[in-house]
Amino acid sequence: MRNPVTPMHIRPAAPADVPGILALVNEHVRQGDLLPRTAVSIRETLGDWLVGEDEDGDIVAVVSLLFYTDALAEVRSLAVADKVKGQGWGRTIIKALIAQANLRGVPTLFALTRAVGFFQRAGFAISSRERFPEKVWRDCHTCPLLDACDETAVVLHLNPATAHHPITQLPNIQITKKGAIPMSKPKVNKVVLAYSGGLDTSVIVPWLRENYGCEVIAFCANLGQDDAELEGLEEKALASGASKVYIEDLRHEFAKDFLIPMMQAGAIYERQYLLGTSVARPLIAKWQVALAEAEGADAVAHGATGKGNDQVRFELTYKALNPTLKVIAPWREWDIRSREDALAYAKKHNVPVTQTEKSIYSRDANLWHLSHEGGILEDPANEPEEIMYQWTVSPENAPDEAEVVKIDFEKGVPVAVNDVHLPPAVLIGKLNELGAKHGVGRIDLVENRLVGMKSHGVYETPGGTILYTAHRELESLCLDRDTSHYKEQMAVRYAELVYNGKWFTSLREAMQAFVDKTQESVTGWVKLKLYKGNVIVIGRYSPESLYREDFATFGQEDVYDQSDAVGFITLFGLQMKVKAMMEVSDGGQTRYAAPDYSKFKRD
């Protein structure tokens, strides 16, 4: 047995330690205590690991830091070998890690753990998992135990005054201080950045070059956003330091391969949201991956924050289409925390940004919708101000005369508006124009984000609202009851997949195959009346219609014999009849029996 007074040797990990670290981690993975790690991931983050080495030179304790930002790091992969359990190795190595965090000036450490008491004895306090959405986005959203997690969040706020002090308070612990140890970053040669030309992505270009020393290729997808957003985009990206710029017009692909299939499925998130931003991210990410492969890039990057849904949508697509690509999300790494910080960084690096008055709202626009978040919408009790809307007129100010619109479909695909045949993207644009004029498509929604927090947003989706209404009405003619009802149930799950960024999944593709089959008979036209925010159906027709006037007429005995209803009703209600017969046997009465009013006296 180890001599308890023998000094414990805790040191930074070295390349030769990788097999020993992996073996110890895997031992705890098999026990269900840790998430799995690979030798490659350990090697790439080696500067963030500490190891405990016993007298025989064996690695008997390990732990690592994972940096989300310069101000927040997670304690990960804490493991102690069974042969030294109870000897204080865990307590000692966690103290060393805290000292290391102090050396690196990290103000906050957190962990998700089942060993709550152990961390409390080390100075951590119980916290809420929702305080660390970075962790949830990175690891938890793919965990099968997400909805039944038995781990507790703990947090330790370090004293900034102790940062950069020598580690004299931990006797018998050997830790090398190499100055402030830089946060480990994977080696990247070339990265394809999802680029919009706004302040954030403009700053990301030089930040990537400065922090990763890599070539940056900027990619912008034209999905139908305002033309002003695309003006001068190539020049701006090149001036910011990009080596190449790709601007691809993806409006047709967006409409044909994403919007219309989603509309055919009837997917609506939480009964209102038509998924305009959600469905766009997989298409952008798909093209990023394709360009990365064409350009020989080894990484992709996006400008989504560490709190929102978009980071998941981008990164799940990257994983689905090319899991070998490295992913860089600057908002989870850098210390830029405000518009002023970004402007200062841009000025320092000669990034050409136009300093305009910042809107209090955060917006996303494409062919399908315009979204608004932030500002007074942070309080869902506030009515959105009219000046916020940029696309649709208010229903009060819409024309006083209704406008009739006819939409033709062929096998579930909209092909014409008012008898004029149009390609999908143009057709959606035409419906946007008509709907916006009449105040159609405004939605005010408190929605549930993937991580569990709620957000309040306002959406303008005029063309999509018209299209969903028309398609649903045509299906009411063409689909039988069982198919229609099952399709309604499936649409809820389909919408969740789209919202959560799981477009490129086997389940979504299987659902789409079912949807495609249902659309074979959805051919015909629908007439609608647009009036002050309303979409009113005034007629529908299909040559494949299952509605027949002669079938529905009660007088046609050759189609429907009314006497057949007796047997149908008897069988349909048989279980109800049996239940009631059991209750009235032996002189009883059914639980629905009426009271005997004769026993009540009148006043």
Residues in Cβ contact with 340 at an 8 Å cutoff, skipping those fewer than 6 apart: none
H/E segment holding residue 485: helix 481-499
Whole-angstrom Cα distance, residue 240 to residue 238?
A: 5
Whole-angstrom Cα distance, residue 116 to residue 126?
A: 8
Whole-angstrom Cα distance, residue 385 to residue 462?
A: 18
Residues in Cβ contact with 9 at an 8 Å cutoff, skipping those fewer than 6 apart: 52, 53, 54, 174
> CB burial class (10 A; 0-12, 13-18, 19+) of residue 121?
exposed
Tell me if 406 sits within 8 A of 526, measured CB to CB.
yes
Residue 420: φ, ψ to 5°: -105, 115
Of 126, 109, 146, the C-alpha closest to 35 is 146
Whole-angstrom Cα distance, residue 528 to residue 466?
A: 8
Whole-angstrom Cα distance, residue 520 to residue 542?
A: 12
Given 281, 442, 508, 540, which residue is catalytic?
281
Whole-angstrom Cα distance, residue 535 to residue 556?
A: 36
- Strands in 102-240 per DSSP E: 108-113, 125-126, 152-157, 190-194, 215-222
Given 17, 54, 310, 408, which residue is catalytic?
310
Give yes or no: 442 in active site: no
Tell me if 401 sits within 8 A of 413, measured CB to CB.
no
Tell me if 300 sits within 8 A of 318, measured CB to CB.
yes
Whole-angstrom Cα distance, residue 455 to residue 463?
A: 24
Of 473, 461, 484, the C-alpha closest to 537 is 473
Tokens of 539: 């007629």
Give yes or no: 550 in active site: no
H/E segment holding residue 538: strand 534-541
> CB burial class (10 A; 0-12, 13-18, 19+) of residue 4?
exposed
Q: What is the DSSP string of 337-399?
A: -SHHHHHHHHHHTT------PPPSEEEEE-SS-EEEEEGGGGSTTSPPPGGG-SSSPPGGGS-
Q: How far apart are the first and last CA of the chain?
A: 94
Given 362, 455, 476, 545, which residue is catalytic?
362
Tokens of 516: 């495609």
Give yes or no: 196 in active site: no
Q: What is the DSSP string of 224-264?
A: S--GGGTTTHHHHHHHHT-SEEEEEE-HHHIIIIIIHHHHH
Give yes or no: 298 in active site: no
Active site residues: 200, 281, 310, 362
